[in-house]
Amino acid sequence: MQIISDSVLLFRRHLDTTMKSKISILIGMVQPVLYLLLFGPMLEKALPDASGSNAWQMYVPGLLVQLGLFGAGYAGFNLIPDMRAGVIERMRVTPISRLALLLGRVMRDAVVMLIQAVMLTLVAVGFGLRAPLVGVVGSFVMVLALAISLASMSYLLALSLPTEYLFAPVVNTVALPLLLLSGILLPMTFAPGWLSVLSHFSPFRYIVDGMRDLFLGHYATRSVLEGAIVAGVLVVGSLALGTRKFVQANS
């Protein structure tokens, strides 16, 4: 199918660009380790191990979502130099599928995020994480969904803002409350009533909760189901919105 081959073509180009830059590979690998190294050691005191589980099973899923928010969430930055150089416009004049213009990039971002997630998890095992393989793999599926939707929304934002200067402040402003409301640093069960209610408006809360259950080896739970549904809706919705923007993009 044309859409698939178009997407794969652009995916390979974008992945090539990323892989050609040694600095971006280095940064991509250092980032997840920093999360563990600079925050993890405090964790064991803050969240003492409960019976049959340890703090890392709570913390690592949150970290994965945080990695997504601050990695794929900023994917739009990659679009800005291409918009400025006219690359997007050059591609929009060709018969290539508009969905592929988005998917090619998003697939690259998803692969980068998946590699980072695997690294982070492996390093976390060194720190003391123990979790069932099936649950971890299931979490990675959610990580992929998260990367796809965050990257799409990030591209949508980059294409929509009147000036590129606004991109960083807007992403920061959106990402920070989403991060805090998702119970990434501490579980939302610690939150007072009003904050807990508010947190249910963050889609990432459901994903974090779902991933935590998966890490604990609880597969058939309400949280996992909710997380999966939210992830699915996010992927479809963000791709649809993002593609629409590439059809009419003014850049």
The answer for residues whose C-beta is within 8 angstroms of residue 37's C-beta and 6 or more apart is: none
The nearest distance, CB 160 to another protein, in angstroms, is 16
Residue in 197, 168, 190, 210 with CA at minimum distance from that of residue 64: 210
* Site for another protein, residues 12 to 31, rule: CB under 8 A: 13, 17, 20-21
Which residue lies nearer to another protein by CB, 189 or 250?
Answer: 250
- Read off the amino acid at residue 168: A
Among 4, 26, 34, 81, binds another protein (CB under 8 A): 81
The nearest distance, CB 14 to another protein, in angstroms, is 10
Q: Which two tokens stand for residue 66?
A: 């945080």
The nearest distance, CB 90 to another protein, in angstroms, is 3
Which residue lies nearer to another protein by CB, 15 or 118?
Answer: 15
Sign of CA dihedral 106, 112, 117, 120: negative
104 near 13, Cβ under 8 Å?
A: yes
Q: Which two tokens stand for residue 112?
A: 């980068």
The nearest distance, CB 86 to another protein, in angstroms, is 4
Among 3, 50, 85, 176, binds another protein (CB under 8 A): 85
154 near 140, Cβ under 8 Å?
A: no
184 near 62, Cβ under 8 Å?
A: yes
Q: Which two tokens stand for residue 56?
A: 């890392």
The nearest distance, CB 54 to another protein, in angstroms, is 44
User: What does the DSSP 8-state code read for residue 51?
Assistant: T
The nearest distance, CB 106 to another protein, in angstroms, is 18
Which residue lies nearer to another protein by CB, 90 or 222?
Answer: 90
* Site for another protein, residues 182 to 201, rule: CB under 8 A: none
Among 51, 163, 189, 248, binds another protein (CB under 8 A): 248
Q: What x-and-dash track marks residues 35-74 binding another protein by CB under 8 A?
A: ----------------------------------------
DSSP for 151-177, please give it. HHHHHHHHHHSSSGGGHHHHHHHHHHH
Which residues of this chain interact with another protein, rule CB under 8 A? 2, 6, 9, 13, 17, 20-21, 81-82, 84-87, 89-96, 248, 250
